[in-house]
Amino acid sequence: MSERYRAVGWTRHKRIYDAILLAGAVTVLGTFAAATVALEPDATPETILIRGFGLVAIVLLHVILVIGPLSRLDPRFLPLLYNRRHLGVTTFSFALAHGLFAIIQFHALGDIHPLVSVLSGDGDFAALTRFPFQPLGLAALGILFLLAATSHDFWLANLTAPVWKALHMLVYVAYALVVGHVAFGALQAEAQPVLAILLGVGMVGVVGLHLAAAVRERRVDRDIRSMTSEGYVDVCAAGEIPANRARVFAVGGERVSVFRYDGKISCVSNVCQHQNGPLGEGRIIDGCITCPWHGYQYYPESGQSPPPFTERIPTFNVRVIGQRVLVDPHPNPPGTPVVPATFPKS
Amino acid sequence: MIRSHRRRHFWIFAILAVILPLVLVAAIGVKRRAPIVDRLPPALNQPSLGTWNPIAGTETEWVDLPIHLRMLASDSLRSRLGVELTLTEAFSEPDVAVYWIARTGAAPETLPRNAILVGTIGKIGAQRLELPPQAVATQGSLVLYSVAHGRVLGALTISEPRSGPSDE
């Protein structure tokens, strides 16, 4: 969150994150190059670079893809999510280097345009035995470019978070294309099963974690609460909400966060305006609901960000009757102040 | 995420959980089984023939090709024969194979079916190749063949003067 435009708001956390990211990428590249030189002395430098850049890109893509579900399943992984977009841009950079080197090496010296050569130079889409792998890689690179180019908050703010999130879900399509690219490309030339095993393990990890997280989320969405005669939804007992934290419920078709703080209870949308992060998994810091993803803040009574920031989220009318917390399923317009319910001591 | 995205996310991964394993299994299934070569075929794995002696009177120049040839013998009985091919210029063809055929005369149009692979040449300088055992008893020719272009580059009759001495 920034009160004025800055291309990148560098913080110590981001610098450490990026330093670890670059060190990891260089380590993978260096280890791969050293192992290749040792095991395949005839491999040329350009071949090592093409393979090495591709390897780093696919490793980073796996890391990117597991951060989301890991954070959903275990909040200890949330710090990894904070700067995930830098990971995405770095992945695209390595994938671009891989693609450019490969095009120069295999397609640039012929008598047809290199891109035409990439798209028509190998295989046959109708034959599985010679399925062309290079167009799959090119398509994945195109998607990664689109995602890297729109990764900045400028695009997030102008496209709106739901559209931006939907656009960035294309990374899953890119992943499927990359799996096909490797399976019908590099894997075909490998005599040893190592690459197939690594690709399979990565695939099981990514798909398994996403499915586990998705199933858990579905369970929350399907947990329908009973409605009272006054049109309120009975969500929980007040004592079940931890202090300065929230519980999340599916109410009226979307999720709400019911926060308890200073003997009061407020209810707001669970969706952060920044990247649609889960506010209910955050906590109250300095009197504000703080998103666990990037630290965006909102007052629990009004759903407004503290000045000078202007983000607003919908609020919900809430009552406490006896020990039960009741939520009106109809949202108030974003930023509407609502008197918090008081939390009676039992 | 908003609920519609969560639904989309679930179905994307439900589909990927089916498609991706199929892709991997299909790719492994159609993988061409490349033979693992742990040693070269005999024709390509010849000894250097460094101790073989040139046979006097067999030196000749290949017509239209930058190759100087002389025959070699393994011993004074000439129980095994070889050739030393010295290239004075590199070939434009990348993969020139040397065959021996049991006939003499003009170069054949195509590589005969009974041609015997002797080895490959390409580097500037001298290379020694062992001829097949048939060459001891039968007069024949060397044929240069471009594998990439699928054509015969030339042929040269090689004859061993049976009474001539070796340069020992």
Q: What pLDDT is recorded for position B164?
A: 46
Residue A2 has pLDDT above 60, yes or no: no
Q: Which residues of B touch A (CB under 8 A)?
A: 1-6, 8-10, 12-14, 16-17, 19-21, 23-24, 26-28, 30-32, 34, 36
Q: In terms of CA atoms, which chain A residue is nearest residue B32?
A: A188
pLDDT the model gives residue B166: 46
Q: Which of B6, B12, B16 faces A217 most closely, judged by CB atoms?
A: B6
More confident residue, B168 or A259: A259
Mean pLDDT of the region A65-81: 89
Contacts of B15 in chain A (CB under 8 A): none
Mean pLDDT of A23-33: 95
At residue A12, the pLDDT reads 83
What is the sign of the dihedral through the CA atoms of A60, A65, A66 and A70? positive
ipTM at complex level: 0.82
Residues from chain A that touch B27, judged by Cβ atoms under 8 A, are 131, 180, 183-184, 187-188
Q: Please count the other Cβ atoms lying within 10 Å of the Cβ belonging to residue B122.
A: 13
Q: Could you read off the pLDDT of A249-294 as tens digits, one per residue?
A: 888 778 899 999 988 999 999 999 888 888 998 989 999 999 988 8
Q: Is the pTM of this model over 0.90?
A: no
Burial class for B67, CB neighbours closer than 10 Å (0-12, 13-18, 19+): buried
Helix extents (H) in A74-110: 78-81, 84-107
A197–chain B Cβ distance below 8 A for any pair: no
Q: Which helix (H) or strand (E) holds A212?
A: helix A194-221
pLDDT in tens, A319-336: 998 889 999 999 999 999
Whether the predicted pLDDT of B11 surpasses 50? yes
pLDDT tens-digit map of A204-238: 999 999 999 999 888 887 777 777 777 889 889 88
What confidence score (pLDDT) does residue B121 get? 87
Q: Using one digit for the tens of pLDDT, what is the confidence trace for A93-142?
A: 999 999 999 999 888 887 889 888 888 877 778 787 778 899 999 999 99
Provide mean pLDDT across the span B87-110: 85
Which DSSP string do the residues of A37-75 spell out, in sequence order? Answer: HHH-TT--HHHHHHHHHHHHHHHHHHHHHHHHHHHHH-G
Chain centre to alpha carbon of residue B158: 19
pLDDT at position B165 = 46
Confidence category of residue B25, pLDDT binned at 50, 70, 90? very high
Tell me the residues of chain A between 106 and 135 that have a Cβ less than 8 Å away from chain B. 128-129, 131
The mean of the pLDDT values for chain A is 89
Share of chain B above pLDDT 70, in %: 86
pLDDT of A303: 93
Residues 6 or more apart whose CB falls under 8 angstroms from that of A115 comprise A103, A107, A138
Average of per-residue pLDDT across B75-81: 86
- Closest residue in B to A279 (Cα–Cα): B1
Q: Which residues of B touch A255 (CB under 8 A)?
A: 3
Buried b (16+ CB within 10 A) or exposed e, A27-64: ebbeebbeebeeeeeeeeeeebbbbbbbbbbbbbbbbb
User: Contact, A297 vs A285, CB < 8 A?
Assistant: yes
Res. A8 pLDDT band, cuts 50 70 90: low
Interface contact flag, B2 A131, Cβ < 8 Å: no
Residue A34 — very low, low, confident or very high, per pLDDT cuts 50/70/90? very high
Q: Which residues of A touch B9 (CB under 8 A)?
A: 169, 210, 214
Task: List the single best residue of A199, A201, A273 to mutate versus B (max B Cβ within 10 A).
Answer: A199
